[in-house]
Amino acid sequence: MSDPRARNGRPTSRDVAQDAGVSQSTVSLVLGGKWHGRVSPATARAVQETADRLGYRPNAAARNLRLGTTRTVLLVVPTLTAPFFGSVYIGAARVAARHGFGIVVYPPDDARPAGPAGNPAGSPFAVPHEAIDGIIASSMTQQALSGFGGTPVVMLDSGPAAAAPTVDFAVEDGMRAVVAHLAALGHRRFGHVAVDLDEWTFQARGEAVADAVAALPGGVLDRAAGSIDVTSAKEAAGRLLDRPVPPTALICDDDLMAAGAYKAARARGLDVPGDLSVTGFDDVQVAVAIEPELTTVRLPARELGEQGMSALLDLLEGGRPETRPLPVELVVRASTAPPSTAPPRT
């Protein structure tokens, strides 16, 4: 016997064929939906019925092997604990569904499978071992991209310098809009609460803030970095607030960090926005959960997913997808106001 595995209880198309008294190819034809004019309606109906009765479900591995395609793409995201990526998924899944594709999500997080037992780590087996046609990688560092082999990849929110087709946000526009808004309110002394991650989007945000403030007569910028959580952001914001001449506005790289900035302000008896203006970035749920509601930059996450999937589809068909940065939108809410001390007159 050369059959090493326990024969799974699942019926095969052969079983269906046998039970229905037809050949396996007929079953394949019928269940594949391409029997019209090739199989008699009566036979087709019979086959369909036996398949249902037996609870037949095609073996995906066999089908994939035969077809050479899985109509499945992998969405790789840096984390699942940020609601942002849920929206990216929804956008991508919608477009995918329209083309008969499925999407699975693969968050590297901290727990990568080691590959099938018995294989040395670092072997080609160590990468996600699902059968997929392509990959959409969102907001990853460049180095995280290694190991995808020859699989077609579209990168999201990873900057124009990426080694693959990419869809980006116009984050620079967003930061410029933030600074302009704050400047119009009268602010000149800014603090940038930055994310301490080596990803394009945060670097771009940082540079845009620096440039915009530098271009502002009398503008001065201070900066502190932290990780994307409330406590770390509170500390970073606190450092800025404790300077001899503190900023009158805190520009945060992320909405959650803005919540931390609120806390730093409150701990120092500062009112937001009366004594300190605060802005966020992303416009996720938390922006309207905190009080006062946050002035922030809305990132069209769903659209990012849509465009990313479209680009990948294009790529899979041999095209060379071209994309433009997605426009972002400043959402002014209640966390920004004129500074309490008059700005220095020039």
Partner DNA sequence: TTGTATGCGTTATCAA
Partner DNA sequence: TTGATAACGCATACAA
Please tell me whether the peptide bond between 300 and the residue prior to it is cis, using omega within 30 degrees of 0.
no
Q: What is the DSSP letter of 124?
A: G
- Regarding 324 and contact with DNA (CB under 7 A), the answer is no
C-beta of 214 vs 289, nearer to its own copies: 289
Residue 69 binds which entry of DNA, its own copies, none, CB below 5-8 Å type-dependent: its own copies
Member of 14, 23, 97, 196 binding its own copies (CB under 8 A): 97
Q: Does 271 bind its own copies (CB under 8 A)?
A: no
Report the nearest approach of DNA to the CB of residue 26 (Å): 4
Alpha-helical (H) ranges within the chain are 13-20, 24-31, 41-54, 60-67, 84-98, 171-185, 200-214, 230-241, 255-267, 286-289, 301-316
* Interface segment toward its own copies; rule CB under 8 A; list 48-56, 165-173, 206-214, 330-338: 48-56
Q: Out of DNA, its own copies, none, which partner does residue 53 contact, by CB within 5 to 8 A per kind?
A: none
Regarding 77 and contact with DNA (CB under 7 A), the answer is no
Among 23, 25, 40, 79, binds its own copies (CB under 8 A): 79
**25 in contact with DNA (CB under 7 A):** yes
Q: How far is the CB of 17 from DNA (least distance, A)?
A: 7
Does 256 participate in binding its own copies (rule CB under 8 A)?
yes
Its sign, for the CA torsion 118, 121, 124, 126, is positive
One of 15, 43, 127, 333 touching its own copies (CB under 8 A): 127
Cβ-based neighbours of 87, under 8 Å, separated by 6 or more = 301, 302, 305
Residues with Cβ within 8 Å of residue 83, at least 6 apart in sequence: 284, 285
- Please give the backbone phi and psi of residue 229, each rounded to the nearest 5 degrees, phi first: -155, 165
Among 87, 158, 296, 336, binds its own copies (CB under 8 A): 87
State phi, psi for 27 to the nearest 5 degrees: -60, -45
Alpha-carbon distance values, 59 to 25, 133, 306 (Å): 15, 17, 29
Q: Is residue 41 a contact residue for its own copies (CB under 8 A)?
A: no
SS3 of residue 2 by DSSP: coil
Nearer residue to its own copies within complex by CB, 115 or 186: 115
Q: Give Cα separations from 1 to 4, 18, 59 (angstroms).
A: 8, 22, 22
**Can residue 37 be called a binding residue for DNA (CB under 7 A)?**
yes
Phi then psi for residue 322, to 5 deg, are -115, 130
* Site track for its own copies across 173-192, x = CB under 8 A: --------------------
Cis upstream peptide for 292 (omega within 30°): yes
Region binding DNA by CB under 7 A among candidate stretches 1-9, 155-163, 220-228, 311-319 = 1-9
CB of 309 to DNA, least distance (A): 24
Looking at 144, 216, 225, 288, which residue binds its own copies (CB under 8 A)?
288
> Residue 3 and residue 182: Cα distance in Å, rounded?
71
Among 21-29, 71-79, 135-143, 243-251, the segment contacting DNA (CB under 7 A): 21-29
Quick one: 12 or 201, whose CB is closer to DNA?
A: 12
